[in-house]
């Protein structure tokens, strides 16, 4: 079981994704505003991001309290803190790098997709903060397993994958994306090491990852182009 996945991103004409480098744009109020308003038009209540992107929304790291060995088996079970939640901020965090003081990002319930690498103390911290979590693999997060757990636990029918490049690349490479919503701002970045729309981790695959079919195309103010694609 998996939700229908739309990857939604704003990039430069060369596919780079770091808005802090773009300066003032001619049309939209800001890249963030462009991203949020177009994402909202889908009416999808769940967004999934990679660790680096989620670090922008969580608390600063702090010292974790030790937990007793007796607590271990209970902590190592998936934890659904808010079964009735309707909106979700979902982070892939295989090593437990994100820390939480609250169980929400702008009203969206925080759900983390973890691997067994995370410590018991980290899991106890997530429970205390009211964050839901799923253990989805030994050392890495198995994205198929994660999507299955998410759809069953929260009856999730649709979700948006919203970066960064590594996370988008991982979902694309696993054949899990159904649709891509791609906004292009009239900026050429050119920085060789700057993250792109899809950065599949590890060695470059022999062939391109997917063929696409255009669903729709629109020009927005300020020369922003918005194309929606179905992944074939
Ligand atoms: N323009 C846009 O629309 C847009 C949207 C969102 C984000 N962004 C930008 O994108 C930047 C971040 O992009 P990014 O590609 O560097 O980071 P990212 O995709 O958010 O996260 C990458 C990290 O996730 C972990 N990871 C990588 N592959 C994984 C996998 N297959 N399974 C589990 N975990 C995996 C790794 O961390 P560990 O090794 O620690 O596990 C990796 O360093 C941010 O600065 C943000 O501003 C732009």
Q: Say yes or no to pLDDT of 167 above 90.
A: yes
**Mean pLDDT of all residues in the chain?**
97
141 lines ligand 1 (CB under 6 A): yes
Rounded to a whole number of angstroms, the distance between the first and last alpha carbons of the chain is 19
Mutate to test the pocket of ligand 1, among 9, 12, 18, 50 (most ligand atoms within 8 A of CB): 50
Q: Is the confidence at residue 65, as pLDDT, over 90? A: yes
pLDDT band at 26, cuts 50/70/90?
confident
Does the beta carbon of 163 sit less than 6 angstroms from any atom of ligand 1?
yes
| Shortest-distance atom of ligand 1 to CA 163 | 6
The CB of 136 under 6 Å from ligand 1? The reply is no
The answer on pLDDT for 28 being more than 90 is: no
Structure token digits, residue 77:
């079970």
Closest-CA residue, ligand 1 atom 13, reads: 164
Cβ 206 vs Cβ 179: under 8 Å: no
Q: Ligand 1, residues 92, 112, 137, 183: which to mutate, most atoms within 8 A of Cβ?
A: 92
pLDDT surpasses 90 at 218: yes
Q: Residues 170-205: pLDDT tens digits?
A: 999 999 999 999 999 999 999 999 999 999 999 999
Closest residue to atom 12 of ligand 1, CA basis: 164
| The three-state (H, E, C) secondary structure of the chain, written as one string | CCCEEEEEEEECCCCECCHHHCCCCCCCCCHHHHHHHHHHCCCCCEEEECHHHHCCCCECCCCCCCCCHHHHHHHCCCECCCCCCCCEEEEECCCCCCECCCCEECCEEEEEEECCCCCHHHHHHHHHHCCEEEECCCCCCCHHHHHHHHHHHHCCCEEEECCCHHHHHHHHHCCCCCEEEEEECCCCCCCCCCCECCCCCCCCCCCCCCCEEEEEEEEEHHHEEEEEEEEC
Average confidence (pLDDT) over 156-164: 97
**What would the pLDDT profile of 118-153 be if each residue is shown by its tens digit?**
999 999 999 999 999 999 999 999 999 999 999 999
Residue 146 CA, ligand 1 centroid: distance in Å:
17
CATH 3.40.50.1370 corresponds to the domain 4-231: no
């Amino acid at each position: 079981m998996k939700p229908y996945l739309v990857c939604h991103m704003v990039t430069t004409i060369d596919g780079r994704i770091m808005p802090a480098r773009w300066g003032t744009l001619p049309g939209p109020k800001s890249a963030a505003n462009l991203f949020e308003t177009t994402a909202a038009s889908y009416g999808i209540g769940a967004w999934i991001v990679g660790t680096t992107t989620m670090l922008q929304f969580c608390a600063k790291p702090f010292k974790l309290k030790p937990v007793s060995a007796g607590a271990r088996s209970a902590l190592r079970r998936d934890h659904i803190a808010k079964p009735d939640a309707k909106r979700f901020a979902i982070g892939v965090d295989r090593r437990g790098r994100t820390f939480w003081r609250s169980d929400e990002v702008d009203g969206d319930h925080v759900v983390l997709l973890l691997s067994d690498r995370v410590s018991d103390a980290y899991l106890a911290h997530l429970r205390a903060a009211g964050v839901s979590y799923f253990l989805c693999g030994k050392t890495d997060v198995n994205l198929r397993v994660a999507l299955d757990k998410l759809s069953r636990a929260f009856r999730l029918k649709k979700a948006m994958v919203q970066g960064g490049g590594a996370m988008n690349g991982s979902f694309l490479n696993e054949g899990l994306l159904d649709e891509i919503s791609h906004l292009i701002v009239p900026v050429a970045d050119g920085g060789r090491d700057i993250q792109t729309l899809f950065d599949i981790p590890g060695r470059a695959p022999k062939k391109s990852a997917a063929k696409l079919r255009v669903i729709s195309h629109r020009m927005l103010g300020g020369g922003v182009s918005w194309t929606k694609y179905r992944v074939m």
